[in-house]
Amino acid sequence: MRSLLMKNPLIIGLLWIGAYLIIVLFPLLILLFYPPTSNEGRSFWLEFSVALGFIGLAMMAMQFALTARINNIEASYGIDLILQFHRYTSIVAFIFILAHPIILFIDNPQTLQLLNFLQAPWRARLAVIATLALIAIVVTSIWRKRLNIPYEPWRILHGILAVIAVGFGLGHALGVSNYLGLFWKAVLWIGIALVALWLLIYVRLVKPWFMLKKPYLVEAVIPQRGNVWNLVLRPFGHEGMNFQPGQFAWLTLEISPFRMREHPFSMASSAENRDRIEFGIKAVGDFTNTIKDVKPGTKAYLDGAYGVFTSDRYEDTAGFVFIAGGIGITPIFSIILTLAERQDERPLLLIYASKTWEDITYREELEELKQKLDLTIVHVLREPPDDWSQETGYVDKELLKRYIPKRPATRNYFICANPKMMDAVEVALYELEVPVTNVHLEHYNIV
């Protein structure tokens, strides 16, 4: 039974969803089977607002698990999907928690005096502080770039505010002893809070300590077409990292991993060679523009590997269709390179959209791989040269129809490009009757 679960990510994913729902709905189950010590004179709306508050608090505690990069959870969904879920559920938790006092004030206007911070009981003060911390989390997260908050200070602030919101929120719940008056209820919620605190300590302190024990050294920085640079790393004092082709890792360069200044990049090397890891990095921002200047011998630290955008999960498929745009070729190149080293005989189709002929990253390397694989490459140029006779413009339904197999359900499709292209290709594949379970997406920016 255990081996069956390990081989079926869908089953594991459903089990994690079930676990999440049980945890966040647990407060309602407690209230249902073990009601408060006294219900006399308490209205439905009061009890409803309390239920929302407990669910919101449980959801906030669960955010620590969602952002801890737990391998078993990440392997079921992928970090990009988990982080999206984290963002949306944080907003839902915020709405629930904010609705708790609003409903209370409407149902019983006399409770508005609890907002008098100096004269209110301590349990009400804790609630005010927790709510303000939660508001600050939402504001600084949604409008971080507009507020010009750098990522590293924001991440530190985000963690501090989260601890305050959950810790003070729990203190408020314990202070209202009508609901957590029984000893075992208090112990249960304190246990949830301690687990959340441990996950934060694990991410911020324990994991960086393990990374510090397994450093890497920069061997070379190799220029590629399209303003892309391959950062080549070698493990220093250890055997290196096992990863699956198409996965990515969080890279910390030149500084201590405790600094939390890390960036996610896809591997651009073969998964068969763990003692030489390459990342394909396009110079488009403050950090990536400095990659070309990194000196050999520079220390680096890796947290990974992560991601479900890998061919290794679909060994039973008859072949693969890869659709890349620009730097989206990086994880796909890793997959193709690995398949070549494994002498894979299945048919592969790569549809690769670029701006110009000179912008095609790994152009020559891909041509060489055609000698080792049953690989067909279709280049699509937005600004083709005068003598160009192949595909031009954008990857749309008509173009895909010309190249994908007549029986599209026999292949697995991997798409990595800018969001606009990915959305268009995903819709086109659906209209071409490609099963959604056969379509796999990888997003550029997950932070």
pLDDT tens figures, 122-152: 989 999 999 999 999 999 998 988 888 887 7
DSSP β-bridge partners for residue 217: 234, 299
Per the CB < 8 A criterion, the answer to whether 346 and 319 are in contact is yes
Q: Which of 353, 303, 347, 351 is nearest to 327 (CA)?
A: 353
pLDDT at 179 over 70: no
The token pair that represents 87 in the structure block: 């963002």
* CA distances for 218 relative to 247, 253, 294, angstroms: 20, 9, 8
Per the CB < 8 A criterion, the answer to whether 67 and 203 are in contact is yes
CB-hemisphere CA count at 13 Å for 4?
Answer: 2
Q: What percent of the chain has pLDDT over 70?
A: 91
Q: How far apart are the C-alpha atoms of 140 and 175, rounded to whole Å?
A: 29
Specify the amino acid at residue 67: T
Q: How far apart are the C-alpha atoms of 316 and 228, rounded to whole Å?
A: 33
Reported confidence tier of residue 320, pLDDT bands at 50, 70, 90: very high
Place of tokens 């911070």: 117
Per the CB < 8 A criterion, the answer to whether 114 and 175 are in contact is no
Q: How far apart are the C-alpha atoms of 347 and 367, rounded to whole Å?
A: 15
- What is the mean predicted confidence (pLDDT) over 25-50? 70
pLDDT digits (tens, 9 = 90+) for 429-439: 999 999 999 99
The token pair that represents 62 in the structure block: 């669960």
- The pLDDT value recorded for residue 421 is 94
* CA distances for 100 relative to 51, 56, 109, angstroms: 8, 9, 14
| Exposure letters 303-336 (e unless 16+ CB within 10 A, then b) | bbbbbbbbbeeeeeeeebbbbbbbbbbbbbbbbb
Per the CB < 8 A criterion, the answer to whether 22 and 80 are in contact is no
Average pLDDT of the chain to the nearest whole number: 87
Q: Name the E strands within 293-426.
A: 299-306, 320-325, 348-354, 375-381, 391-392, 412-416
Q: How far apart are the C-alpha atoms of 27 and 342, rounded to whole Å?
A: 51
Per the CB < 8 A criterion, the answer to whether 65 and 199 are in contact is yes
The token pair that represents 435 in the structure block: 């099963």
Which domains does the chain possess? 21-210 (no CATH), 214-306 (2.40.30.10), 317-442 (3.40.50.80)
pLDDT at 8 over 60: no
- The pLDDT value recorded for residue 4 is 39
- The pLDDT value recorded for residue 18 is 80
How many other CB atoms are found less than 10 A from the CB of residue 199? 21
Computed over its alpha carbons, how large is the radius of gyration of the chain? 26
Q: Which of 13-22, 130-139, 166-175, 347-356 has the lowest mean pLDDT?
A: 13-22
Which DSSP symbol is given to 279?
A: E
Element (H, E) at 230: strand 228-235
Place of tokens 């209110």: 120
3-state secondary structure of 73: helix
- The pLDDT value recorded for residue 446 is 52
The token pair that represents 404 in the structure block: 């994908």
Q: How far apart are the C-alpha atoms of 332 and 307, rounded to whole Å?
A: 13
* CA distances for 353 relative to 78, 250, 379, angstroms: 25, 26, 6
3-state secondary structure of 278: strand
Place of tokens 């745009």: 325
Element (H, E) at 263: strand 263-266
